Structure formats: structure tokens, C-alpha cells
Amino acid sequence: MFEIISKVFTDNPLIVSFAIVGATMYIAYFLSNKLTKGRIHGSAIAIILGLMLAYIGGVSTGGTKGLSDISIFAGIGLMGGGMLRDFAIVATSFGASFDEIKKAGFSGVASLFIGVVLSFVIGVIIALMFGYTDAVSLTTIGAGTATYIVGPVTGAAIGASSEVITISIAAGLVKSILTMIGTPMVAKYIGLNNPRSAMVYGGLLGTTSGVAGGLAATDPKLVPYGAVTATFYTGLGCLMAPSVLFLMTKAIFG
């Protein structure tokens, strides 16, 4: 019986991963609704669950590829591997239009560039403080501080280790969750009550789920304004981090 199940699983790895990820997301969105009343978005909880599964996989096999080291779950590595990941990330830019960004005006576009570069620089400085000195690791962690997508995309492009990529995902995740929870608390202190500041907010923070969730909890009317800029943030990060920002980091740290 178990042999048959195991055979079916190992023969259809990618299909197994669809089923597992779907189940993980179902649990995550359930927890998001019941435990946090939707305050922490289901996607963030799902990524945390994913990291936990990776930890379990790593500890139980001693391997370095998380859950996909367990042979019946090998498809997770295929689904979450570089090829499909980059494909899906490129697809997210479908729906974005440069006509939208014109609405954001100068301050919105400026906040977008400042947001990406600032997050990157902060990530690099903190990584330096924690003892990383090579340009590839510094760039990857800096990119992860932008968003949990820019980190792994950059890391894969410039050849970072899986440990460093994991740290970059975690940094982006912390940013995203803190933005979700913290936005309604700080909103009145930072003047986040009109469309312009919402656009600036989306550009500076950039984490789409964090900005959307945080603004929804503050004032649902602000969500579309924050999304105008946040939509472009990950794209801009994927463009800048593995190119200009990496080359600059490499020039400084060798």
C-alpha cells in the first residue's frame, strides 16, 4: 500500500507539489482569517509554513534543499526552482501599465527609486554588521530587504548560496509582516491619510502584500493608490539589484 503511494508520488513530483502547496495555502489562509482576523495576510503565513516545512525536511534528511530532499516531495524543488519562479515573477508584471505610474507623479516615482535603493543599502549595512563581506551575499541580503522576491531572484542571478537566499527571503518576510501590522498604528503619525502619501508609501515600502494589507487596515480607500507604486517596486528591484546595485556593491567590497 505505502509502496504504491510512494511510487505514485515519486512518479509525479510536480503534481504532488501542486497538491501540497495548495493544502499549505488553505491552512495558511484559514489561520490568517481565524487567528489574525486577516491582519496578517495568508500569503505571508503560507511562506512561513513553507520555511517551516523546509526546516523539517532539512533536519530529517540532513540535506540542503529543504522539503524537496525527501524523495516523495522532490517536486517542491521543481515548482519552487529558478525556472518556474522567474517565469511566474515575470508574469506578475502583466496588469501593470506605465499609464498608471504617471498618476503617481514625481513624488511617487521618486519614492519608488528611493524605496528600492534605501532598502538595499539598509540590508547591506546590516549584513555587514553581521559579518558578511562578500559582494554576492551582501547584494542578495540587500535585495531581500527590498522584497522577498527581489532577494532570491538576485541571489540566483549572481550565484548566492541557499543559506544567504533563505536569509534574504526571511528579511523580506519580516518587512512584509511588519508593514501589514504596523501601518494602521503609524498611519496618523506619518500623515498617511491621502492618496499622495499612500502612493509614496507604496513606493517606499514596496512589499505588495504588506502595503495592500496595511493600507486596507488603515483606510480601504487608500489601497489602490498604494498599489499604483508598489506594483512596480518588485520589477524595479529585479531590474536594479542584480545590475547597478550589484555592480556598485562589487566595486566597493570586491
By CB under 8 A, what part of segment 160-189 binds another protein?
A: 161-175, 178-179, 182, 186
Which residues within the stretch 144-163 sit at the binding site for another protein (CB under 8 A)? 144-145, 148-149, 152-153, 156-159, 161-163
- Contact residue for another protein among 201, 217, 218, 233 (CB under 8 A): 201
Which residues within the stretch 1-20 sit at the binding site for another protein (CB under 8 A)? 17-18
Residue 215 engages another protein in binding (rule: CB under 8 A): no
- Count of residues of this chain found to bind another protein when the rule CB under 8 A is applied: 117
Residue 64 engages another protein in binding (rule: CB under 8 A): yes
Angle at 97 between CA 91 and CA 101, to 5 degrees: 125
In this chain, which stretch among 2-10, 31-39, 232-240 interacts with another protein, using CB under 8 A? 232-240
Residue 226 engages another protein in binding (rule: CB under 8 A): no
Residue 27 engages another protein in binding (rule: CB under 8 A): no
In this chain, which stretch among 3-11, 30-38, 237-245 interacts with another protein, using CB under 8 A? 237-245
- As measured in angstroms, the least distance from the Cβ of 10 to another protein is 16
- Contact residue for another protein among 9, 13, 40, 58 (CB under 8 A): 58
- Contact residue for another protein among 22, 26, 35, 133 (CB under 8 A): 22
3-state SS string for 39-74: CCCHHHHHHHHHHHHHHHHHHHHCCCCHHHHCHHHC
**DSSP of the chain:** -HHHHHHHHHHSHHHHHHHHHHHHHHHHHHHHHHHSTTSS-HHHHHHHHHHHHHHHHHHHH--SSGGGGSGGGTHHHHHTSHHHHHHHHHHHTTT--HHHHHHHHHHHHHHHHHHHHHHHHHHHHHHHHTT--SHHHHHHHHHHHH-TTHHHHHHHHHT--HHHHHHHHHHHHHHHHHHHHHHHHHTTTTT--SHHHHHHHHHHH--HHHHHHHHHHH-GGGHHHHHHHHHHHHHHHHHHIIIIIHHHHHHHH-
| CB-based contact 211:201 (threshold 8 Å) | yes
Name the residue nearer to another protein (CB basis): 4 or 106.
106
Name the residue nearer to another protein (CB basis): 8 or 190.
190
Residue 54 engages another protein in binding (rule: CB under 8 A): yes
| CB-based contact 10:68 (threshold 8 Å) | no
Residue 32 engages another protein in binding (rule: CB under 8 A): no
Residue 70 engages another protein in binding (rule: CB under 8 A): no
Which residues within the stretch 75-114 sit at the binding site for another protein (CB under 8 A)? 76-77, 79-81, 84-99, 103-108, 110-111, 114
Name the residue nearer to another protein (CB basis): 3 or 98.
98
